Amino acid sequence: MPVFFWWYLAAVNLAALFACLADKRAAVKGRWRISERSLLTLCALGGGPGFYLGMHWFHHKTRHRKFTWGVPALCLLWLAGMAAWLWLGRA
């Protein structure tokens, strides 16, 4: 896999982690929140592992099925896609 791909994944996972933290802080302070659609979009773009860590580190969105089931499902889809890419690349 190209080095750019790994840098992309690192960046999107950090963005998802910090988005989780920012949304948690906003929730506690009663401020403007990041939409659930935006958070799930970050996960769909590859930031699922970062957001999943944030969910558990910051105890945020852990009661919402959309996140407790959706984020791991998106992570598995990404893993399957990466495995397929590697497998097809070797064929």
Q: How many domains does the chain have?
A: 1
The predicted pLDDT at position 30 comes to: 94
The predicted pLDDT at position 12 comes to: 98
Domain that holds residue 37: 3-90
Terminus-to-terminus CA distance in the chain, angstroms? Answer: 15
> What predicted TM-score, i.e. pTM, was given to this entire model?
0.88
Express each pLDDT in 5-21 by its tens digit.
Answer: 999 999 999 999 999 99
